[in-house]
Amino acid sequence: MRRLNRKKTLNLMKELDAFPKVPESYVETSASGGTVSLIAFTTIAFLTIMEFMVYQDTWMKYEYEVDKDFTSKLRINIDITVAMRCQYVGADVLDLAETMVASADGLIYEPVPFELTPQQKELQRMLQIIQSRLQEEHSLQDVIFKSAFKSASTALPPREDNSLQSPDACRIHGHLYVNKVAGNFHITVGKAIPHPRGHAHLAALVSHESYNFSHRIDHLSFGELIPGIINPLDGTEKIASDHNQMFQYFITVVPTKLHTYKISAETHQFSVTERERVINHAAGSHGVSGIFMKYDISSLMVTVTEEHMPFWQFLVRLCGIIGGIFSTTGILHGFGRFVAEIIFCRFRLGSYRSTSDPLPDGHTSNHLPLITDNSTH
């Protein structure tokens, strides 16, 4: 009974077979068919390898929503070197709510030489090249997101020489926590002191000839500090051409949630516009000498997610490649044979007409002469 059921099952499966069966006596092999088959198999192999490489790769998906978090604090990570002695400069933040954040809470003033060592210059030059490429090719930002925590830190390496040169600059580095509202982080002459109507800086005791706001921004970021992420102002260096010079950076900060296969973090991206001018009250250019970074918080939040092609989609695309190439090459091969047969038929017909015999009355004979046994001798 079991064998009988198996035979019935096999017969049923044979009846349900929808694929055409061509007898071997109907199949004709040819050199052109073999060439087309070789080309088809080579193309399939090449496209399959390329499709597998696409399947292994990932891409970044960007989604936008309204940022509803207004109560948390915003962290500002700072590493700026100013070409003035530390006792002459002061840094602080003043937001729209007239709330001053004292620099002593999280910033460190470190006397250093303004001139970089060869190793530090090499890293700064590399950062400047990356920044120029990022401005031209924005898709490179996706590569930086995916390589976060894997690449080397963007911070300057420590000085490898024990230079006896006296420190002529001040490195201001550390972090601050501010309210999530627009504000102004600035570095100017004199230490900041609180004031009932805002704040002020003790600049009267500093000689005007000592003003030099040439500076280098080794790092500036907002939010969680993520090694390997390159920010728009990293590696920036500005040299002042006058003692009374103001450098302004207008920054728009966008809250960002980053989810990749390596990390999951909440950070902030930002765009920046730069401006610099010489303070000259006689010429109508008013202001205060220093470095001013005015930032504004965007109301939109970006969620950046690293995505991968599903395996079922890879199989569907692979089947489409194989089936499409087989169908296309079959159609092209059939059409090529059809055109070749038409051309060869006309060629043979022309050769046949040129070998016909003329008749006495001017007509031509389209019949070939008969071959008899006597003609072979």
Contact, 250 vs 273, CB < 8 A?
yes
307 strand-pairing partners:
59
Write the pLDDT tens digit of every residue in 320-337: 888 888 888 878 877 777
Q: Tell me if residue 279 falls in helix, strand or coil.
A: coil
In the chain, the percentage of residues whose pLDDT exceeds 90 is: 10
Residue 189 to residue 290: CA distance in whole angstroms: 7
CB atoms near residue 353 (< 10 Å) = 10
Neighbours of 224 (CB within 10 A): 15
Q: What is the pLDDT of residue 377?
A: 43
What does pTM read for this prediction?
A: 0.67
311-322 pLDDT, tens digit per residue, is 888 899 888 888
**What are the φ/ψ torsions at residue 362 (nearest 5 degrees)?**
95, -5
pLDDT in tens, 171-180: 999 888 888 8
Any idea what the Cα angle at residue 31 is, between residues 26 and 32, rounded to 5°?
A: 90
CA 141, CA 231: separation in Å to the nearest integer? 10
**Token pair belonging to 102:** 């004292």
